[in-house]
Amino acid sequence: MEELIYAALALPLLVGALSMIIAENSAIKVLNISGSLLTGGILLCITGKVVVSGVFASSFMYVDALSALLLLVVAFLSITATLFSASYMDNELARGRVKLSALKRYYALLQLFIFTMIGVLVVENLGLMWVGVETTTLASTLLVAFYFNRSALEAAWKYVMVCNVGILFALLGTIMLYYTQVGVAGTETAALSWTALRAISTQLDPMLVKLAFVFILIGYGTKAGIAPMHTWLPDAYSQAPAPVSGLLSGALLSCVLYVLIRNLVIIQAALTTSFVNYALLAFGIFSVAIAIPFILIQHDIKRLLAYSSVEHVGIVTFGLGIGTHLAAYGVVLHILNHAVVKSVLFYLVGIIGQQYGSKQLSRIRGMFAVLPGIGAMFILAMLAIVGTPPLSIFMSKFTIVLAAFEAGWPVLGSLLLLLLAGVFAGMMFYSTRMVFGTAPRRFVRTSIGKSAIMAVSCSMLWIIITGVYLPPWLQQLLEQAALLVARRG
């Protein structure tokens, strides 16, 4: 098992380094796709082993059902993102928007980014998780700035500044947690180790843990895009190349939520009051609410999807705030579903953007007439993201709302439903306008590329199938993960 984890960590680094050396586009593509497939395969093996034989723990590594689920997300998304990148970047090369030297840099950073996300998920220590999350920011900043034009620079600057400050707050919270741990267990014993902290969590000083919670929520909340710390998010998602937007929104966001959950498990056990729950519920509802005006009045398709990410982080935070077992199940299912659906939406929008030569909502019309296949997948994915039954996200949203009613929060549950109706209206308004209507007269269809089609259809299949059928092993993994997330007692 340990060898598998080391292999999964080493492989992206190796592929990234090799991408810098190779001088030919087609060779780089083959290398990266096979590298990602192999990394994904190893990650799947790790997940499988956890399903079969339970938790794996060594001095630095720790993989349980929750990390295994997230590793599954990263595996799936890194494969689709690399596949999609191959065609996407071919088109960009053909248009002269990027040069070959920039392409090498792109793949090297992409693999580095994947490495950092895997790193966050396999380490056992809260301090090392912090280091990992910070590294994901640094690896992805240059990907956000990839085009190095004015708007990309603006987005990258905001991204790195806001997230760095936020993440330093999380470090402050982590130091406080360590201080409380030292107060109970003394120095030099398994410092900031998650399992050690969990074992003594009920003895930690509640006053300091509460303070630590505030900083940790603000810190990781900034990175996850919880409102009102989400200001960098629409800029970064809209300016990054489409495959990177998909990874940022699908994989990175889930990884940060994972780290937040790991911290919350300790914090909730240490506190006897419901302070944590109230805070999470409030931030969750606020994130959904703040996204609505920006979804209803929007000019840019990628920003529309970015605000939808803020909304979905809000739903997950809300679910964490309820904290019951049912809500926890909804949360882990929602993280998985959102990652797949949102990444495929960003890929589709990448294709659409290249075909229409614009990200402006007003310019994209009549997809059914000119790009029927892409249009159909796009509307289906949009229906999925707003939570239409029987597609996958409906189940997780429904579970979270149901949990709210069951846990005695009927007013908040209804409020969430009302807000979700608002999101539905905005998203559907723009997507029907894009798909139906008359296409621009001067539209020229260019080739899309096989690997992009493959990436997109894999994800679409996943969305359609998991809506009605979850394989038993996945079901088991989700239930075990939910047990870890739920508040004990």
Which residues in this chain contact other proteins in the complex, by CB under 8 A? 60, 125, 127-128, 130-131, 134-135, 138, 141-142, 145, 148-151, 153-158, 160-161, 164-165, 168, 171-172, 175, 178-179, 182, 187, 191-192, 207-208, 211, 234-235, 238-239, 294, 297-300, 303
Could you tell me the smallest distance in angstroms from the CB atom of residue 235 to other proteins? Answer: 4
Inter-CA distances, 333 with 15, 315, 395, 477, Å? 31, 12, 8, 10
Q: Which amino acid is at 209?
A: V
**Cβ closest to other proteins, residue 213 vs residue 318:** 213
Q: How many residues does the chain have?
A: 489
**Cβ closest to other proteins, residue 189 vs residue 274:** 189
**Cβ closest to other proteins, residue 6 vs residue 148:** 148
**Cβ closest to other proteins, residue 280 vs residue 304:** 304
Could you tell me the smallest distance in angstroms from the CB atom of residue 211 to other proteins? Answer: 7
Give the list of residues 6+ apart from residue 488 with CB closer than 8 angstroms, or none. Answer: 268, 269
Do residues 114 and 36 touch, judged by C-beta distance below 8 A?
A: yes
Could you tell me the smallest distance in angstroms from the CB atom of residue 219 to other proteins? Answer: 11
CA 28/CA 153 separation, integer angstroms: 26
Could you tell me the smallest distance in angstroms from the CB atom of residue 265 to other proteins? Answer: 19
CA 33/CA 30 separation, integer angstroms: 5
Could you tell me the smallest distance in angstroms from the CB atom of residue 172 to other proteins? Answer: 6
CA nearest neighbour of 109 among 80, 129, 132, 138 = 138
3-state DSSP call for residue 378? helix
**Cβ closest to other proteins, residue 72 vs residue 162:** 162
**Cβ closest to other proteins, residue 153 vs residue 453:** 153
**Cβ closest to other proteins, residue 158 vs residue 312:** 158
CA nearest neighbour of 331 among 486, 142, 106 = 486
3-state DSSP call for residue 237? helix
**Cβ closest to other proteins, residue 154 vs residue 406:** 154
Q: Which two tokens stand for residue 34?
A: 């096979």
Cross-strand pairs, 300 = 360
Q: Which amino acid is at 124?
A: E
**Cβ closest to other proteins, residue 108 vs residue 478:** 108
Could you tell me the smallest distance in angstroms from the CB atom of residue 182 to other proteins? Answer: 5
Could you tell me the smallest distance in angstroms from the CB atom of residue 217 to other proteins? Answer: 17
Could you tell me the smallest distance in angstroms from the CB atom of residue 403 to other proteins? Answer: 34
Give the list of residues 6+ apart from residue 1 with CB closer than 8 angstroms, or none. Answer: 46, 49, 56, 63
DSSP 97-134: SS-HHHHHHHHHHHHHHHHHHHHHHHB-BHHHHHHHHH
CA 57/CA 375 separation, integer angstroms: 46
- Report residue 403: phi and psi, to 5°: -65, -35
Could you tell me the smallest distance in angstroms from the CB atom of residue 350 to other proteins? Answer: 18
CA 393/CA 169 separation, integer angstroms: 32
The count of C-alpha atoms lying within 13 angstroms of the C-alpha of 484, restricted to the half-sphere facing its C-beta, is 25
